[in-house]
Amino acid sequence: MARPLRVQYLGAVYHITCRGNERRAIFKEDNDRQAFLDILANSLNIYTVKLFSYVLMENHFHMLVETPLGNLGAFMRHFNITYTSYYNRKYKRSGHLYQGRYKSILVDKESYLSVLSRYIHLNLVKMKEMEKKSRGERVKYLKKYPWSSLPGYLDEKNKEEFIDYSMVLEEFGGDSEKGRKAYEKRIFADLSDGIEINCKIIGQSILGNDRFIKWVKGTLVKRKRDRECPAHNELRRYRAKEEIIAAIEKELGKKVEQIKREKGSDRQMVMDLLYRAGGLTGVEIGEILGVDYSTVSQGRKRLREKIKQDRKLKLRIDRIERTLSI
């Protein structure tokens, strides 16, 4: 059987699933689940990926993500390899943790974002042991289960920093008490009515309305080889680099030529944004700033520590990122 089509482009949304090898557990205790989420949060930051929803089961996980930079493959390689390394070290094992490569369904964001979010959350009660439970018991289980993004959708106090709730809740009235109540009402109606998406997936890889499917097949698939051409990638990367530098210079009120001669947060900010938003390597960033790649790596690490303590610095970086997202 041929592998399902895997398309990457700027702003693509995917439903990701990954199962343990031979359906074995990928989490043995809650510390593993917390380590998984810590690694996930770091990977999201490094690759500028948005996470809308997730659920961690014993032997698999589901995620709904958006890739503003069109870099799903790089993100998943880094994330899965890092968690596998953690798991293998802890349990003194070797080899593959997952059953083959991860499965990704390309999702029509406009038509199916909230549907997939609810579908992912409801996976918790599709287990055989839950089928005999009453509706009330299943509702209680969904609300109490800690290894899912659902609690943050139902109660603001449970929100996690690495989840983007606003995009899904926009359909229900926004990221507000009203929006969360509407989402809760809808998902528990789905608990009774069910959500069926498998029959709507085209070619094991695309979920969307007819217009979206036609666009993917007629435009993106035909251009796939062109997008993988090195010359095309270099052109896209160069334009992204110039846009990032221009946004930083505007925010800081000084040119990058001045920033590169300085040591401190401003230069570290340039390093981090070129890496995360531009997809440049440490070596490439070092060439721009006149430093070696190890300085870039250390600079980015120090910036992440500073952001935890300096709210003004974080807000400044957030403003630049918003400018780049327009």
pLDDT at 154: 96
Torsion-angle region of 30 (φ positive above 0: left; ψ -120 to 50: alpha; else: beta): alpha
Q: Which of 2-16, 187-201, 202-216, 306-320 has the lowest mean pLDDT?
A: 2-16
CATH label of the domain that carries residue 304:
1.10.1750.10
The answer on 233 and 107 residing in a single domain is: no
**Residue linked to tokens 């974002």:** 113
Total structural domains in the chain?
Answer: 2
Altogether, the residues listed in the chain come to a count of: 326
pLDDT at 54: 98
Torsion of CA 309, 146, 182, 165, to 10 degrees: 30
Q: Which of 66-75, 90-99, 132-141, 192-201 has the lowest mean pLDDT?
A: 192-201
Q: What are phi and psi of 5, to 5 degrees?
A: -60, 135
Q: Find which of 6-10, 129-133, 316-320 is predicted with most confidence, using mean pLDDT.
A: 316-320
Q: Is residue 274 part of a domain?
A: yes
What average pLDDT score do residues 174-184 get?
Answer: 93
Beta-strand runs (E) in the chain: 12-19, 50-56, 60-67, 103-107, 206-207
Q: What is the pLDDT of residues 262-319, one digit of tens each?
A: 889 999 999 988 887 776 777 888 889 999 878 888 898 899 889 888 888 988 888 8
Q: Is residue 102 part of a domain?
A: yes
Q: Is the pTM of this model over 0.75?
A: no
The answer on 178 and 111 residing in a single domain is: yes
Instruction: Flag whether pLDDT at 81 surpasses 80.
Output: yes
Q: How many CA atoms lie within 13 A of 189 on its CB side?
A: 7
Q: In terms of Cα–Cα distance, which of 319, 325, 301, 322 is closest to 253?
A: 319
Single out the residue in 222, 245, 264 at which a domain terminates.
222
The answer on 121 and 20 residing in a single domain is: yes
Q: Is residue 4 part of a domain?
A: no
The H helix count followed by the E strand count for the chain is 16, 5
Q: Is residue 161 part of a domain?
A: yes
- What's the mean per-residue pLDDT of the chain? 86
Q: Is residue 300 part of a domain?
A: yes
Which range marks the domain in which residue 68 is found?
12-222
Q: What DSSP designation does 68 have?
A: T
Residue 135, token pair as written in the block:
């509706």
The answer on 137 and 85 residing in a single domain is: yes
Q: Is residue 5 part of a domain?
A: no
The answer on 197 and 145 residing in a single domain is: yes
